[in-house]
Amino acid sequence: MNDVLQAFVPPTVNPPAPRTEIVLSIDAFYGRPSEPRKSDFEAMKAALAACREQRAAKLVLPAKTYRFDDPKAADAPASIELTDLSDLTIDAQGSELIFHHITNGFRIRNCQRVLLKNFAADWDFPLASPGVMERQADGRMAIRISDEFPLLPGRKLAASVTHYDTANRRWIRAIEGEAYYPVDVEQIGPQLITSPTFDRPPAPPNGTGKLADGMPVCVRHYVYDTSGFIDFNGPGNSDLTFEGITVFQCPGHAFAGIGCDRGFRISNCRIGRRPGSNLLVSSTADGAHFGGAEGDIVIENCDFSAMGDDSVNIHGLWLEVVKQTGGRVFQLTRRGFGYAVRLEPGTKLKFCRKGSLAEFGRATIAACCLDFENKVAVVTVAEDLPGLEPGDFVANLSRSGSRFLIHDNFFHDHRARGMLLQAADGLVERNHIRNVMGCGLMLTTDCNYWKEGYGCENLVLRDNLIEGCNYVQWERGPLGRHMGCVSLIADTPAGLSPAVVHRNIVFERNTIRDTPGLALLVASSQDVLIKDNLLADTNRHPFDGAGASIDAKADGAIMVTRARDVTIEGNKLSNATPPCATGIYVDGRNTRNIVVGGNTGFE
């Protein structure tokens, strides 16, 4: 298994290679002294146009506060649009950018070798508010929003409601109630809103438990209402670097790359609430989200906290078979069929069965026609295929998010999961993940809810500290899949896939501390090494039937099921108080060649 690390090729992210020495300043684009002064939005737009025309090497924003509240920006795709730029550095020199409209902060299209650096960003009103659930005299469930957070005319009332520690302004690790995407939200009194959804139990995967009278909550007014603060989605974007950027608050993901090309570095960036403020959230969705990108991703020396969703998610986008119209011709579709669907001649495809994600063939695209109106792709491949069934899954292996390096980051105190890693060829080292609701590390693929991720392969995770994670009951009940603080599984409608989806995984010298159930769960995998890890204060709560309804009843501190060729050696378990379970459990019914030896404290 040492070959996995030796074979790792670090991602390549090329810096700007300017063809000129031209340096421009935004100060030159506010108009003539005799004319009305342009807004920051207009000046930035003009400055970027000049950079494009003159092929400038650098654009400077002298240190001050810039406000992007021009009404013209309300209908624009973003407050700042970077289009058809290359070999450019934008240095804001410690400035602060304040946004007003619910649009992307930055929208990047067809840009190569661009560096954005040295600024902080915020929105000029709260994107989430504290409140308390309140049963009304007429029986309706409502939320009374704190008077500190006045409901604003023209702003969205609620997109998500989550049990929250409003007194201390922090996410609760073991939330007891949540409601996503409430319908028919209306204001029925001063600071009082209601929706029929507030009185309904949530459906997976959106939340756990029903909102109750008197429960303190966080109301996110926006979740996915923009794709990202920095949106570099779509083709033509490559070799982009984001350095020294602080995001205090933003609607949507902070960094979003869906359907982009290759080469992305997020370095020395911070996502977190403004110090001294009374804000509840930073980004309303993920910290950094990559879907259907080619790969070459680096996330380093960052501090992400207080988000409404995961710190990092890297995945491919499953396509589903509509029908096979000939031996080599078939139709594909997916939810959200759009620019992220990239299929070109020469692309390698992997075919997996709909029920298990078991691979049954590979082929190369010879021709493809994308019909965006009908949301279908008609594909011809160069090789014969076995019979395809409607609903079978197809992976575009050229857009899997492969080749990633995530190191020396601190991801903490936020909703959802630490890292979702669903791609191949990665090194994850020296990260600290603390106090997130779900898994600290979710190494997964999914044909159940999200339908994303082609599986992990050739992945090394070492010297990471993961503590205080997976207390939420989302997936620790009878139907739970990701039951471990670190979970390596494939999620299917029936449960954990018996097929080999993940291969060549090394998990070594990591520390897992303070988790209510399993420290490690391994399934749907082959060639896994779990070595020299320290597990401390695990299994703090009883399992209470976790996994029982999917024939994967949780047991032990480390659990292996539906896997083969797994080695578990040199690990240590230490508990300050008597745990509810110990041991290394291997399901003898569906595993083979599981080697366990030299571990201590698991008796």
Give the Cβ contact number of residue 57 at 10 Å: 18
Tokens encoding 151: 């409901």
Domain positions in the chain are 2-123+240-305, 128-220, 319-399, 417-597
The pLDDT of residue 124 is: 97
Q: For the chain, how big is the Rg over CA atoms in Å? A: 25
Residue 426, pLDDT above cutoff 90: yes
The pLDDT of residue 548 is: 94
Domain 319-399, what fold?
A: Elongation Factor Tu (Ef-tu); domain 3 (2.40.30)
In angstroms, the CA 144 to CA 190 distance is 8
Residue 5, pLDDT above cutoff 80: no
Can you name the residues that pair with 253 across neighbouring β-strands?
228
Mean pLDDT of 389-415: 97
> What are the b/e assignments for 265-284, b being 16+ CB within 10 Å?
bbbbbbbbbeeeeebbbbbb
Mean pLDDT of the chain: 96
Residue 326, pLDDT above cutoff 90: no
The pLDDT of residue 207 is: 58
Mean pLDDT of 548-564: 97
CA distances from 136 to 158, 188, 217 (A): 18, 10, 17
Residue 203, pLDDT above cutoff 80: no
Residue 254, pLDDT above cutoff 60: yes
The pLDDT of residue 416 is: 96
Tokens encoding 421: 């890693």
Mean pLDDT of 344-350: 96
Closest CA to 488 of 449, 450, 525: 525
Residue 367, pLDDT above cutoff 70: yes
The pLDDT of residue 338 is: 86
Confidence band, pLDDT 50/70/90 cuts, at residue 368: very high
The pLDDT of residue 359 is: 97
CA distances from 94 to 22, 255, 264, 539, 560 (A): 21, 19, 22, 45, 49
Tokens encoding 292: 């259907």
Percent of the chain with pLDDT over 90: 92
CA distances from 591 to 233, 498, 522 (A): 41, 9, 11
The pLDDT of residue 32 is: 87
Residue 2, pLDDT above cutoff 70: no
Can you give the length of the chain in residues? 603
The pLDDT of residue 205 is: 62
Helices (H) and strands (E) in the chain, counts: 2, 51
- Of 38-42, 202-206, 340-344, 399-403, the one with minimum mean pLDDT is 202-206
